[in-house]
Amino acid sequence: MVSEKMKPFMANNSAIRAMFEEGKKMAAVYGAENVYDFSLGNPNVPVPEVNEAILEIVKEEAFNALHGYMSNAGFEDVRQTIAQSINERFGTSFSEKNLIMTVGAASGLNVILKSILNPGDQVIVFAPYFVEYDGYVRNYDGEVVRISPDTETFMPKLDEFEEKITKRTKAVIINNPNNPTGVVYGEDTIKALAAILEKKEKEFGISILLISDEPYRELAYGVEVPYVTKYYHNTVVGYSYSKSLSIPGERIGYLVIPDEVDESGELITAASIANRVLGCVNAPSLIQKVIHYCIRHKVTVNVEAYEKNRDLLYHALKEDGFTCAKPDGAFYLFVKSPVADEKEFCETAKKHHVLMVPGSSFACPGYVRIAYCVSHEQIERSLPAFREIAREYGLLK
Amino acid sequence: MVSEKMKPFMANNSAIRAMFEEGKKMAAVYGAENVYDFSLGNPNVPVPEVNEAILEIVKEEAFNALHGYMSNAGFEDVRQTIAQSINERFGTSFSEKNLIMTVGAASGLNVILKSILNPGDQVIVFAPYFVEYDGYVRNYDGEVVRISPDTETFMPKLDEFEEKITKRTKAVIINNPNNPTGVVYGEDTIKALAAILEKKEKEFGISILLISDEPYRELAYGVEVPYVTKYYHNTVVGYSYSKSLSIPGERIGYLVIPDEVDESGELITAASIANRVLGCVNAPSLIQKVIHYCIRHKVTVNVEAYEKNRDLLYHALKEDGFTCAKPDGAFYLFVKSPVADEKEFCETAKKHHVLMVPGSSFACPGYVRIAYCVSHEQIERSLPAFREIAREYGLLK
């Protein structure tokens, strides 16, 4: 009954999701307070203004206008407000036409990839990366080309990138700030990346779309996250409010397709249609209005809470003898496994009720991802378990 | 920049959506009260309990549990409540495992088609039908096989159906109550359809999935809508709350995959993964909880309002000399065009500020669809325009 294309997905089902389901089972057995689940990027910092927005909107807006169909690209006023907000913050000049509201960033990526990919087109990604990208690309018969990880800095290996661009390269996906490493690509990196893309576009006479996946844009700890459309003409930005408003279950985000993109008008039309034909039809309507409210009321998540978590866990793990690059953004630590097979390390950690995700799920074996978007108390409670694990591996002198 | 696969979508973009956009422009020019937009199935009957549900849920539930990630298939308690409700109403025996919450029925159809279709697999549909199905099937490289319309009764032509089933038939889509005709397939029709499918499954040694798309199930005027899983083992139901709670913008529905379906366990797993990999990840979380509330509080839409609209418009059009089958469900009239080219008829109607959708958008030229999910007043105001149109075509004696 199941299609051939779905079978590989079933064989390699998301380790993150499997861990999430396992965490729920373990919590039922041992009690939630005794399981240290660092598996899923499920934000824990509430943004109460989201609820205030919902209450106000439901009371004030007419029922059918609020819950009814609108254009497939989303409410015009919502898109206009978002465009203005981006323009004010980053000096861009988008209008509502450049914005398409999507069912989260994951759906936005699907929409843009469906809009551009022909079978066999190559999409370049930089390891480590969110391997769901592989599925999104395969959905449209594209081929993922991986750039190997620079495990010193976790910045993109630009030499290898330049070598691997071919005539079949249709798109490049970057994720900034990065999941799973938390590193932030600065202006120099983006400029260098753009220069390579421009050179290769000329060399091969092709258009290469740079897709910047930015759900963690607002979660940066004192560093600038460059707005990529300003550095490279063929850039599309995928955004999500999952992390910046702590509402991943609500599925709301957008695509920005600038006028500077080749055949921009056609691409915008294609993306609006793809949004409909893939079955989303439009992003959820009430939550679109919530975004409108939150922008007008300058609502932001408490980034300091995540920074405090990072500091506590990062320093504790360093003291325990673990190796880890200090992240500048997102809410992940990417820790070197003390043994080559990081899945074994994860299994050992699980015995101590610590759940983390193997790096092989990010095309970077030998590392594990720890999502610290949990309560500060969970981190505090988990520290003795991490210390035990460090002892078991002889990391503590 | 745009993929080859998207180009046909752009060339044949939804006439319904084009009309919807045109309606908005005309309303801006002539005033909303002077434009009779019958183009889109955008329900107009508010369901205030939906807003009560939202207010209560937002006040009572913890922020992160309410707005955070859950299993890709949706909240377990929500699925359990829906399964129970179906069981009570239709004598089935589903559990939460048989339910997958989806981003509306359109996404549910994409999820199930992605889960089953191999390139070249055939999917049978009965004209007239919602031609977005064509896009959903093409998304996964399937081939749509159309059964021609029976323009007397608009019931499925079962002889032609039986003839057109081949070894490559993977699925059949029915839509009951039907968009665009409003007819309801009764028990005899479903039984006859099931008998043909069972016979052909045996003859070819294949599994054929019957996909019953049921967003209009609750909108039936005094007739029974059979629950199809009881009549044929390989049935999947796609449901949406868009019409039954008047919330199409919120994108909420579900798939039912019964245990009786061949390889049911694998198909359920595949569909959960497809929901994630297509980018939806999960159905919007707050609205999932709203469904839970509405089922427990037995909330329903005021079907009588639509029935009143149907009666007013149906009788007026008959009096004007138009030909139309009286619909038993949904909120559409499918009216015979007084001239062979129904697009010309639509253009004429537009001059009278009446917007309706050509039947060619439903694979049934020579007819037009009128969506009467508008205010009763709009219908009353539009009647002189319909009378004018009837006069123009010499229908009024």
**Residue in A1, A14, A114 nearest the CB of B263:** A1
Direct distance between the N- and C-terminal alpha carbons of chain A, in angstroms, rounded to an integer: 56
Could you write out the DSSP letters of every residue in B73-136? Answer: T--HHHHHHHHHHHHHHH-----GGGEEEESHHHHHHHHHHHHHPPTT-EEEEESS--THHHHH
State pLDDT tens for residues B90-140.
999 999 999 999 999 999 999 999 999 999 999 999 999 999 999 999 999
CATH architecture of B6-47+301-392: Alpha-Beta Complex (3.90)
d(CA B275, CA A106): 11
| A371 three-state secondary structure | strand
Do A55 and B58 make contact, defined as CB atoms within 8 angstroms?
A: yes
What ipTM does this complex have? 0.96
A262-301 residues touching B, CB cutoff 8 A: 262-263, 266-267, 269-270, 273-274, 276-287
- The arithmetic mean of pLDDT across residues B369-385, rounded, is 97
Residue type, A18: A
Residue A236 confidence (pLDDT)? 98
- B219 Cβ under 8 Å from any chain A Cβ: no
Do A64 and B44 make contact, defined as CB atoms within 8 angstroms?
A: yes
Residue type, A205: G
d(CA A13, CA A21): 12
CA A344, A349, A353, A356 dihedral sign is negative
Residue A57 and residue A290 in contact, taking contact as beta carbons nearer than 8 Å: yes
The closest alpha carbon to B139, from A34, A231, A306, A279, belongs to: A279
Nearest CA in chain A to B17: A71
Residue B360 and residue B343 in contact, taking contact as beta carbons nearer than 8 Å: yes
State pLDDT tens for residues B305-335.
999 999 999 999 999 999 998 999 999 999 9
d(CA A157, CA B391): 73
B174-203 residues touching A, CB cutoff 8 A: none
d(CA B288, CA B170): 31
Residues of A in contact with B294 (CB under 8 A): none
d(CA B240, CA B242): 5
Residue B19 confidence (pLDDT)? 81
Residues of B in contact with A275 (CB under 8 A): none
- A4 Cβ under 8 Å from any chain B Cβ: yes
Mean pLDDT of the residues in chain A: 96
- The arithmetic mean of pLDDT across residues B213-230, rounded, is 97
**With bands split at pLDDT 50, 70 and 90, how would you rate the model's confidence at A346?**
very high
Token pair, residue B228, equals: 């199809």
Query: How many Cα atoms occupy the beta-carbon half-sphere of B93 within 13 Å?
Result: 2
d(CA A184, CA A154): 9
Q: Is the pLDDT of residue A397 over 80?
A: no
Residue A68 and residue B249 in contact, taking contact as beta carbons nearer than 8 Å: yes
A331-360 residues touching B, CB cutoff 8 A: none
Q: Is the pLDDT of residue A15 over 80?
A: no
| B9 three-state secondary structure | helix
A90-109 residues touching B, CB cutoff 8 A: 102-104, 106-109
Query: Is residue A295 exposed (0-12), middle (13-18) or buried (19+ Cβ within 10 Å)?
Result: middle
Residue B224 and residue B186 in contact, taking contact as beta carbons nearer than 8 Å: yes
CATH architecture of B48-296: 3-Layer(aba) Sandwich (3.40)
Q: A396: which residues sit within 8 A by CB, 6+ positions away? A: A320, A321, A387, A390
Q: Is the pLDDT of residue B280 over 80?
A: yes
| A253 three-state secondary structure | strand
Token pair, residue B310, equals: 């149907």
Residue A110 confidence (pLDDT)? 98
State pLDDT tens for residues A326-340.
999 999 999 999 999
Residue A12 confidence (pLDDT)? 75
Mean pLDDT of the residues in chain B: 96
| A101 three-state secondary structure | strand
Residues of B in contact with A267 (CB under 8 A): 1-2
| HEC secondary structure over B193-231 | HHHHHHHHHHHHCCCCEEEEECCCCCCECCCCCCCHHHC
Residue type, A96: E
Q: How far is B52 from chain A (nearest CA, A)?
A: 9
Do A115 and B21 make contact, defined as CB atoms within 8 angstroms?
A: no
d(CA B323, CA B311): 15
For chain B, counts of helices (H) and of strands (E): 14, 12
What is the number of other CB atoms lying within 10 angstroms of the CB of residue B163? 10
Nearest CA in chain A to B274: A6
Residue B80 confidence (pLDDT)? 98
Q: How far is B114 from chain A (nearest CA, A)?
A: 7
Do A2 and B277 make contact, defined as CB atoms within 8 angstroms?
A: no
d(CA B142, CA B130): 17
Residue B115 and residue B121 in contact, taking contact as beta carbons nearer than 8 Å: no
**With bands split at pLDDT 50, 70 and 90, how would you rate the model's confidence at B36?**
very high
- The most distant pair of C-alpha atoms in chain A lies apart, rounded to whole Å, by 66
Residue B12 confidence (pLDDT)? 75
Phi then psi for residue A281, to 5 deg, are 70, -60
* Mutation for B interface: A136, A139, A281, most B CBs within 10 A: A281
Residue A240 and residue A215 in contact, taking contact as beta carbons nearer than 8 Å: yes
- The arithmetic mean of pLDDT across residues A336-359, rounded, is 96
d(CA A9, CA A17): 13
State pLDDT tens for residues A265-283.
999 999 999 999 999 999 9
**With bands split at pLDDT 50, 70 and 90, how would you rate the model's confidence at A102?**
very high
Do A281 and B251 make contact, defined as CB atoms within 8 angstroms?
A: yes
d(CA B293, CA B246): 15
Q: B109: which residues sit within 8 A by CB, 6+ positions away? A: A279, B133, B136, B173, B211, B213, B238
d(CA A182, CA A317): 16
The CATH superfamily holding the domain A6-47+302-392 is: Aspartate Aminotransferase, domain 1 (3.90.1150.10)
For chain A, counts of helices (H) and of strands (E): 14, 12
d(CA A174, CA A126): 7
Residue B17 confidence (pLDDT)? 76
Q: Is the pLDDT of residue A129 over 90?
A: yes
**With bands split at pLDDT 50, 70 and 90, how would you rate the model's confidence at B22?**
confident
Residue A222 confidence (pLDDT)? 94
Query: How many Cα atoms occupy the beta-carbon half-sphere of A331 within 13 Å?
Result: 32
Q: Is the pLDDT of residue A367 over 80?
A: yes
d(CA A247, CA B284): 10
**What ranges do the domains of chain B cover?**
6-47+301-392, 48-296
Q: How far is A275 from chain B (nearest CA, A)?
A: 10
Rg (CA), chain B: 21
- A205 Cβ under 8 Å from any chain B Cβ: no
Residue type, B94: F
Residues of A in contact with B249 (CB under 8 A): 66-70, 282, 284-286
- A61 Cβ under 8 Å from any chain B Cβ: no
d(CA A51, CA A59): 12
Residues of B in contact with A104 (CB under 8 A): 279-281
H-helix or E-strand containing B354?
strand B354-355
Phi then psi for residue A152, to 5 deg, are -80, -50
- A247 Cβ under 8 Å from any chain B Cβ: yes
- Partners of A143 in beta bridges: A122
Q: Is the pLDDT of residue A95 over 80?
A: yes
- The arithmetic mean of pLDDT across residues A183-191, rounded, is 97
